[in-house]
Amino acid sequence: MNEKSSRKLLIVEDVPSTRMLIKGVLGKEGYNILLAENGAEAVEIFEREHPDAVLMDVMMPVMDGFEACQRIRALDRDEGTPIIMLTGAEDIDAISRAFEVGATDFITKPISWPLLSQRIRYAIRGGQLVRQVRQNRLHEASAQRIAQIGFWSWHPATDHFEWSTELAELLNYPMDEITTLNDLVDHVQTDDRERVRRAFRGAAASDLRIDLEMRLVGNSGERILRMTGERGVEGRDLDRLYGAAQNITDSRKAEALVDYLALHDDLTGLGNRRLFSQSLRQALEQRRSEGHGGVLVGWIDLTRFHRHNDAMGEQNGDILLSQVAQRLRLLAIDGAVARVGGDEFAVLLQDAGTSDLRERFDHLMDALTQPFRVGEKEAFLGVSAGVAQYPEHSADAEQLLTLAQEAQRVGRGQGRRVVQYDELTTQKRSPTLDVEHALRRALENQEFHLVYQPQMDLRFGRIVGVEALLRWKHPERGLVSPVEFIPVLEESGMIDAVGAWVIDEACSQARHWELAGTPLRVGINLSPQQFLDPRLFDTIVGTAERRGVSPKRVELEITESLAMQDPTRAIELLTRLRGLGYKIAIDDFGIGYSSLEYLLRFPIDTIKVDRAFVRNITNSQADRAIVGAITVIARTLGINTIAEGIETMRQCDFVEALGIGEIQGYLIGKPMSPREIEHLIVSFRRPGREPEQ
């Protein structure tokens, strides 16, 4: 198609012969001609047709060209549509007035047809350039607002700063007060000042680039500013530094929240397992460097704590947990305390001299048996603990913690309050051995089965996935808690065989749902022991191919601590699986090793926000802030989010408002059999929605 034939040209002329003559000349050049007999008609046609250019006489009845031009400009809204006015050759006043009301150009009568053709062609081209420049400016301004970026320049010889006008608004900070390097340094937080001064002086004395973050302080609070820049490249610009300044306050706050969440338990304020491990490693390094002293690690479990939740309610149960944390913190003042599970705590005691660490730990345990007061009621706690010590039992931080946990678990089964790792004997561990022997028969006797907990997409209100959960039905004991038998599977090495069975069963069920026309994403949990198996990749891929299930229906769920055992191998394995279409989810997010760097490094499709941050989200500002930070970062990285443990409509409303994509929990459904899932899909109606009449 001829380019001109797609261009609309509006001709406004009251003399019919002149109007038709112009139409004939320009029509032959391929323009799509629109005609108007006066200014009022021209305005109406312009509003309806949006022509690419207007050729308009000045003197006309009804509405002259000046008023029509003015009205067209008001309709044009800075689009830059060219308007060429036809004036008399000697009518200087008309030419001046035409420009005042918004004309782009003029051409005098009698008309020079070659000149008219050239003027119109260049006017349309100029209009296109104006629109392109305007569009580019709008895109640039939008990008600057989204990225919170402004611009700056600095002339070292005169020590003069200039800032783009939008930067002060983006920062909500008086940038006009900063005109010299000393001004900038004076506005910077004290700890950052020397670093900022050095960076600019270094760039002034050489061709070094500037790339630094600084904290601006003022009445409106702290702002975190990132400045990048370099010396100009030619002419007078060689004497100046030019760059961009970005407001990164919100992103750094979000990162800080995620980092806090990576190291702390929000309910009690204690560190989590990751922070405890760091503290333990530091204590071991100190003892080794000093060449004397010991370290004790205790794993404490509040036995049958659920009874207190049942009796007092979860809110008072949380108060009781906080009181336990406070008492432990006071008693282990020279050590460290962490919350490592719902009702489990780890304690670190160290000694540079000859005092008895075990005696101190026993004193701490005695204190936990003293009553706690919650409101008007007294609460007495049952406790069991395991202890491991350096250097007697291990010199490795994680192993010490694991040994203490194992000692606690065995001691609890025997009804003992405190068990030290080296007290364990084969006889004392016989309950675990009994479970292990029963488990070895369970797979062969088909005692395992899977249940599936549904996951709902909040945008569309439908079930889109399930999490596969392993269950064991003992022929005599009935259903055995996963908390009891899964650790035994791990320790005994049977998890690989059982895990392979889980993968096979889940893939088979996923394929069944595909064929039934109700395809669901099926989440499969991978255990730490499985993840270390070099055959895991072949097991997953081979099973999916054998069962004929599409990889996009399989979501592999790993925990943060699992992935961090060997990050390099984990990244390689997960990247290979994700490359084939398998989905990767991080389970129990927020209670382990999470950090922004972690999220950026690992190939992740989904973050499952741990139920610990959902339980109190309706009345805890801190929980809402943490979940909000996770969702902001996840959206930025294109990662889906699933909130676990949603039990009430209010929890659902809160997480949806914070940007969570999907939810899982008893509000949607408990873990179910495949048949129950199929029935749920058919009858499902989003909670909180009125049934259709």
Span 87-122, pLDDT tens digits: 875 678 888 888 888 888 888 888 888 888 888 888
Q: Identify whether 255 is part of a domain.
A: no
Question: What CATH number should be reported for the domain holding residue 12?
Answer: 3.40.50.2300
Determine the 3-state secondary structure of 284 from DSSP.
helix
Rounded distance between C-alpha atoms, residue 414 and residue 503, angstroms: 35
| Strand ranges for 141-197 from DSSP E | 149-155, 160-163
> Which is more confident, 614 or 290?
614
Residue 274 pLDDT level (bands cut at 50, 70, 90): confident
Whether 630 and 641 have beta carbons less than 8 Å apart is answered as: yes
Handedness of CA 588, 592, 595, 598 (dihedral sign): negative
Residues 376 and 443 in one domain: no
**Residue with the two structure tokens 């902001």:** 632
Residues 437 and 406 in one domain: no
Largest Cα span, the chain: 117
CA atoms within 13 A on the CB side of 606: 29
Copy the structure tokens of residue 611: 């139920």
Q: Identify whether 295 is part of a domain.
A: yes
Rounded distance between C-alpha atoms, residue 48 and residue 455, angstroms: 50
Q: How far apart are the first and last CA of the chain?
A: 54
Q: What mean pLDDT do residues 267-276 have?
A: 86
Rounded distance between C-alpha atoms, residue 491 and residue 639, angstroms: 33
Q: Is 426 exposed, middle or buried (0-12, 13-18, 19+ CB in 10 A)?
A: exposed
Helix (H) or strand (E) holding 513: helix 495-515
Q: Identify whether 333 is part of a domain.
A: yes
Span 32-43, pLDDT tens digits: 899 999 999 999
389-398, 560-569, 600-609 — which is least confidently predicted? 560-569
Question: What CATH number should be reported for the domain holding residue 362?
Answer: 3.30.70.270
- Whether residue 173 is predicted with pLDDT greater than 60 in this model: the reply is yes
Whether 154 and 239 have beta carbons less than 8 Å apart is answered as: no
Q: Identify whether 307 is part of a domain.
A: yes
Please list, in sequence order, all residues whose beta carbon lies within 8 angstroms of the beta carbon of residue 533, skipping any fewer than 6 positions away. 496, 539
The last residue of a domain, from among 379, 401, 428: 428
CA quadruple 638, 642, 648, 653: dihedral, nearest 10: 0
Residue 376: domain span:
263-428
Question: What CATH number should be reported for the domain holding residue 203?
Answer: 3.30.450.20
pLDDT confidence of residue 294 = 86
Q: What mean pLDDT do residues 579-589 have?
A: 87
Residues 463 and 381 in one domain: no
Q: Identify whether 367 is part of a domain.
A: yes
Residues 590 and 676 in one domain: yes
DSSP 252: H
Residues 495 and 464 in one domain: yes
- Whether residue 126 is predicted with pLDDT greater than 90 in this model: the reply is no
Determine the 3-state secondary structure of 559 from DSSP.
strand
Q: What mean pLDDT do residues 146-151 have?
A: 70
Rounded distance between C-alpha atoms, residue 244 and residue 222, angstroms: 19
- Whether residue 564 is predicted with pLDDT greater than 90 in this model: the reply is no
Copy the structure tokens of residue 523: 């989440």
Residue 428 pLDDT level (bands cut at 50, 70, 90): very low
Residues 525 and 557 in one domain: yes
Residues 55 and 104 in one domain: yes
Span 492-526, pLDDT tens digits: 778 889 999 999 999 999 999 999 999 999 999 99
Rounded distance between C-alpha atoms, residue 439 and residue 663, angstroms: 33
Residues 598 and 660 in one domain: yes
Q: Taking all residues of the chain, what is their mean pLDDT, rounded to a whole number?
A: 83
Question: What CATH number should be reported for the domain holding residue 652?
Answer: 3.20.20.450
> Which is more confident, 340 or 600?
340
| Main-chain phi, psi angles of 343, to 5 degrees | -130, 35
Residues 103 and 159 in one domain: no
Copy the structure tokens of residue 244: 């961009």
pLDDT confidence of residue 680 = 94
Q: Identify whether 339 is part of a domain.
A: yes
CA distances from 466 to 246, 439, 673, 677 (A): 42, 26, 11, 9
The last residue of a domain, from among 398, 428, 458: 428
Please list, in sequence order, all residues whose beta carbon lies within 8 angstroms of the beta carbon of residue 632, skipping any fewer than 6 positions away. 254, 659
Rounded distance between C-alpha atoms, residue 334 and residue 495, angstroms: 39
Rounded distance between C-alpha atoms, residue 524 and residue 603, angstroms: 17
Residues 132 and 216 in one domain: no
Q: What mean pLDDT do residues 431-438 have?
A: 70
Nearest CA-CA partner of 250 in 353, 333, 332, 171? 171
In the 3-class helix/strand/coil scheme, how is 45-88 assigned residue by residue? HHHHHCCCEEEEECCCCCCCHHHHHHHHHHHHCCCCCCEEEEEE
Span 630-672, pLDDT tens digits: 888 888 788 999 999 898 898 999 899 889 999 999 999 999 9
CA distances from 421 to 392, 399, 400, 407, 487 (A): 10, 11, 9, 5, 17
DSSP 692: P
Beta bridge partners, 478, equal 474
Rounded distance between C-alpha atoms, residue 354 and residue 364, angstroms: 18
576-585, 627-636, 683-692 — which is least confidently predicted? 683-692
Nearest CA-CA partner of 83 in 106, 63, 67? 106
Whether 603 and 575 have beta carbons less than 8 Å apart is answered as: yes
Q: Is 400 left (phi over 0), alpha (psi -120 to 50) or beta?
A: alpha
Q: Identify whether 693 is part of a domain.
A: no
Rounded distance between C-alpha atoms, residue 103 and residue 70, angstroms: 9
Span 180-192, pLDDT tens digits: 999 999 988 888 8
pLDDT confidence of residue 593 = 44
- Whether residue 354 is predicted with pLDDT greater than 50 in this model: the reply is no
Rounded distance between C-alpha atoms, residue 661 and residue 629, angstroms: 14
> Which is more confident, 310 or 628?
628
Q: Identify whether 12 is part of a domain.
A: yes
Whether 499 and 530 have beta carbons less than 8 Å apart is answered as: yes
Nearest CA-CA partner of 453 in 237, 175, 645, 657? 645
Q: What mean pLDDT do residues 438-459 have?
A: 91
What is the identity of the amino acid at 293?
Answer: G
What is the tally of structural domains in the chain?
A: 4
**Residue with the two structure tokens 């640039």:** 140
Determine the 3-state secondary structure of 419 from DSSP.
strand
Rounded distance between C-alpha atoms, residue 586 and residue 261, angstroms: 15
Residue 134 pLDDT level (bands cut at 50, 70, 90): low
Beta bridge partners, 9, equal 33, 53
Nearest CA-CA partner of 283 in 220, 191, 349? 349
Whether 420 and 298 have beta carbons less than 8 Å apart is answered as: no
Rounded distance between C-alpha atoms, residue 108 and residue 112, angstroms: 8
Q: Is 638 left (phi over 0), alpha (psi -120 to 50) or beta?
A: left
Residues 521 and 660 in one domain: yes
DSSP for 99-114? Answer: HHTT-SEEEEESP-HH
Q: Indicate the pTM of the whole model.
A: 0.47
- Whether residue 409 is predicted with pLDDT greater than 80 in this model: the reply is yes
The last residue of a domain, from among 374, 394, 428: 428
Residues 154 and 300 in one domain: no
